[in-house]
Amino acid sequence: MKIKAVVKYLIITFVITYVCWWGVAALVAYTDFVYGDILPTIIYIIGNFGPAVAALFCIDYKPYLRSLKKFLFSYKKHGVLFFLLFVALVTLTVGLSSMEWNPQMTALNFFITLLGSTFVYGGEEELGWRGILQPVLSKKITFPLAAFACGVIWALWHLPLWFIEGHPNQSMSFWVQATLGIFLCFWLGIIYDRSKCLPLCILFHGFVNVILSSFVLKINWVLILGIILTTVVAIVLWLLDIKRTKSLNNQSTNTK
């Protein structure tokens, strides 16, 4: 997949999402609708699917259905282990920094919220961010730069939410959310790199959203240290993969 496909993906993504989300912002600001009413909610959800819809338009292989199946359901051996590693690291980071469970998050609410966060309010985005954008960028620039670029773009994509009166994202500074998003791109990027499995990225994205709601989020040195260490793990895994690839290439050269 080429940069041309990335440009196409970004245009479709931002057009769909921005039209919907800025539309919701205007609807709430200039009419009697409030965020959470049926019409704004429907328009908002459509905007959520901008990255997913754009990704489906950017699969340019033939036959399409076979390529779509490969795109959605590929899996690399032992990939789930990396998924579980980052699930554990994120849970420990948020849990130890907070030490305060949200009393409204019962076991049933956790499960229901996880389903929503995975398939409607976050996880579905991974079809585009990890399925299209970050892998292509990683081939053109280094993994850390690709993760950072993807995080910045992801943050800009979310910008309209801070103009929708009553949206939950307004409880957090845009810059805090943007910073967390950049780090998240490192974690999701390495999960995809090691698993080649979009469903694991979709589930991880949804899980991160839920775990941030399950604990009372507290920004302190434990949270900051945990986020940095988790990102260091991702970078180390990337460096080890480079070393392994070079070793395999050298062995191949020597054999010839």
- Asked if the model's pLDDT at residue 108 lies above 80, the reply is yes
**Structural domain includes residue 26:** yes
**Each residue of 27-86: pLDDT tens digit?**
999 999 999 999 999 999 999 999 999 999 998 777 888 889 999 999 999 999 999 999
Distance CA 136, CA 151 (A): 14
**Structural domain includes residue 128:** yes
87's enclosing H/E stretch is helix 79-98
The tally of domains found in the chain comes to: 1
- Under DSSP, is residue 81 helix (H, G, I), strand (E, B) or coil? helix
**Structural domain includes residue 256:** no
Cβ contacts of 80 within 8 Å, gap of 6 or more:
195, 197, 200
* Cβ contact 212:176 at 8 Å: no
**Structural domain includes residue 95:** yes
pLDDT value at residue 72:
93
Of 61 and 253, the structure prediction assigns the larger pLDDT to 61
- What's the angle, vertex CA 249, arms to CA 248 and CA 250, rounded to 5? 90
Q: ω before 63 within 30° of 0 (cis)?
A: yes
- Asked if the model's pLDDT at residue 252 lies above 70, the reply is no
- The torsion of the CA quartet 79, 97, 123, 12, rounded to 10 degrees, works out to -110
**122 Rama sector, left if φ>0, alpha if ψ -120 to 50, beta otherwise:** left
Counted residue by residue, the chain has a size of 256
Burial of 105 from C-beta contacts in 10 A (0-12 / 13-18 / 19+): middle
**pTM score:** 0.94
**Each residue of 143-190: pLDDT tens digit?**
999 999 999 999 999 999 999 999 999 989 999 999 999 999 999 999
**Structural domain includes residue 170:** yes
Q: How confident is the model at residue 256 (pLDDT cuts 50, 70, 90)?
A: low
What is the arithmetic mean of pLDDT over 189-215?
A: 97
**Structural domain includes residue 157:** yes
Percent of the chain with pLDDT over 90: 86
Q: How confident is the model at residue 100 (pLDDT cuts 50, 70, 90)?
A: very high
pLDDT value at residue 247:
74
Distance CA 148, CA 184 (A): 10
- Asked if the model's pLDDT at residue 233 lies above 90, the reply is yes
**Structural domain includes residue 121:** yes
Q: Which two tokens stand for residue 207?
A: 């899980």
**Structural domain includes residue 255:** no
- Under DSSP, is residue 33 helix (H, G, I), strand (E, B) or coil? coil
pLDDT value at residue 248:
67
Q: Which domain holds residue 50?
A: 3-245
Q: Which two tokens stand for residue 27?
A: 């609807």
The overall average pLDDT reported for the chain is: 94
79's enclosing H/E stretch is helix 79-98
Of 126 and 63, the structure prediction assigns the larger pLDDT to 126
What is the arithmetic mean of pLDDT over 7-33?
A: 97
* Helix ranges (DSSP H) in 125-220: 126-128, 134-140, 143-158, 174-195, 198-214
